[in-house]
Amino acid sequence: MAGVLAPILIYGTLFGLTYVLIALGFTLLFGISRVLNVAYGALYMVTAYIIYWLVVEQGYDLLISAVIAVGVAILVGVAIFLLCVRFAPDPLRFLIVSFMFALLLQYMFSYYFHGASGFVIPSLIPIKGILIYGVSVNPVYIVTAGVALVLLFALWAWIEWTSYGHTIRATAEDPETAALFGIRVRQVYLIVVVVSSALVAIAAVLIVPATEVVPTMWIEPFVIAFVVAVIGGLGNFKWTLPAAFLLSFSQETVAFLYPTSQSLTDIVAFVVAICFIAALPHGFGGLLREST
């Protein structure tokens, strides 16, 4: 019995929390500024490539490189956001332009490394598998899960309890009125973008060592972030955790039932998202919402 449940429970929980970490910045950004930033995944990719270049090609120290990479990702994220907001403020064009930025970065990295792909970057956490209840687990995910929990709580505390968090929520509700009350809306957005970019970059630092670096790697974190956000109710980031768990547990269950299929997980994500949208266009958050 435990042999059946253990992998699903353990992987489900760990991957679920990993998804939380990946999705957190995206949901935050959307919840506050109402933009769907396709380039979000690209920041994940940027972090990974910077670390690769600094550590593997240039030989710098991993920790310092990680910090620099996060910094670069933040800068890129802010730059893209500012450009888009300034010149393409409506959600549809923002979407197209951010998508194109993601493609641009993909092409740039592909070109710079002459099409070579499948790099591996070193990890801050030892990768050797540990056994938990007979299930082989990569410690990377344990640490990631822990960090996810901490950051989730920290973010929530920041938004709900601090006065600046209050400012942010006011801006999210109604930017025009907030501006009338002296809130510096652009500054709020900027800070949110910085935090959002930092979150996805940190996720990359922790997770990417367990996978590989390819020019199309921006797609997966984006898909995860988006699906989690949709299930949770776009903008409703207190529902990120249950949404991520729904996704990870359904994936693990399917993976357990059909162990030979590798990319079934993506399909499951897609199917789950579609079913959710068909049934509950506003996700979990919509269930409890009263007005149209």
Partner 1 sequence: MKAPERPSARFDWTAVWKRFRSPFYLVALAAIAVFTATTAPWAGASSLPLSLLSPWLLPIYFPFWVVFASVYLAFVLGWGNRLMSPFYFAALIAIFAFVVLAEGAPTSYFALSLVFTSIYITLALAWDFSSGLSGYLNFGLPFFYGLGAFVTGYFAWGGQRYIPFLLAVSLGVGALGGFLFSFPTLRLRGPYFSLLSLLLPLLGLDFIANYWTQLGMPTLGYFDLPFLAPTPGAELVILSVANGFLLTVLYLLRNSHFGLILRGIRDDEDALSSQGIWTFPYKVVAFTLASGIAGFAGAAYALVVTFAGVDTFEFTFLFLPLLIVILGGAGEIAGSVLAGYLVILVYQYTLSWFPGLNLILFTAIAILLVLFLPRGVTGPVRRFIQFMSTPEAG
Partner 2 sequence: MSLLTVSHVTRMFGGNRAVDDVSFEMTDNTLAIVGPNGAGKTTLLNLIAGQLHPTHGMIRFRDRNITRFPPWRVARMGMVKTYQIVRPFRSLTVDENLVLFSELRGTVDREEVLAETGLTDWRNYPTGALPFGLLKRLELAKGLATNPDLLLLDEPIGGLSRTEALALVGTLAALKARGVRMLIVEHRLAEILPVVDRVLALDRGRVIFHGSRSEFYHDSAVRTAYLGSSDVGG
**Residue 291: which of partner 2, partner 1, none does it interact with, CB under 5 to 8 A by kind?**
partner 2
Percent helix, strand and coil across the chain, each rounded to 5?
Answer: 75, 5, 20
| 3 or 290: CB nearest partner 2 | 290
For 55, half-sphere exposure in the C-beta direction (CA atoms, 13 angstrom radius) is 23
290 binds partner 2 (CB under 8 A): yes
Which phi and psi (to 5°) does residue 58 adopt? -100, -20
| 2 or 108: CB nearest partner 1 | 108
Size of the site for partner 1 (CB under 8 A): 41
| 30 or 145: CB nearest partner 1 | 30
Residue 262 three-state SS: coil
CB 138, CB 207: distance < 8 Å? no
- Nearest to residue 228, comparing CAs of 251, 245, 208? 245
263 binds partner 2 (CB under 8 A): no
- The DSSP letter of residue 55 is I
176 binds partner 2 (CB under 8 A): no
Report the chain's terminal Cα–Cα distance, integer Å.
45
From 10-18, 84-92, 145-153, 162-170, span contacting partner 1 (CB under 8 A) = 84-92
From 9-17, 100-108, 123-131, 171-179, span contacting partner 1 (CB under 8 A) = 100-108
Please, what is the minimum distance in Å from the beta carbon of residue 259 to partner 1? 14
The residue type found at 79 is A
Hey, what are 150's tokens?
Answer: 């901490």
Please, what is the minimum distance in Å from the beta carbon of residue 97 to partner 1? 5
Q: Which of residues 118-177 bind partner 1 (CB under 8 A)?
A: none
Q: Which of 260, 262, 263, 291 binds partner 2 (CB under 8 A)?
A: 291
Site string for partner 1, 32-71 (x = CB under 8 A): ----x-x---------------------------------
Token pair 């162990």 is at which residue?
259
Please, what is the minimum distance in Å from the beta carbon of residue 149 to partner 1? 27
For 46, half-sphere exposure in the C-beta direction (CA atoms, 13 angstrom radius) is 26
Please, what is the minimum distance in Å from the beta carbon of residue 267 to partner 1? 6
Whole-number Å distance between alpha carbons of 8 and 215: 30
Provide the 10 A C-beta neighbour count for residue 134.
10
262 binds partner 2 (CB under 8 A): no
262 binds partner 1 (CB under 8 A): yes
- Contact residues: partner 2, CB under 8 A: 290-292
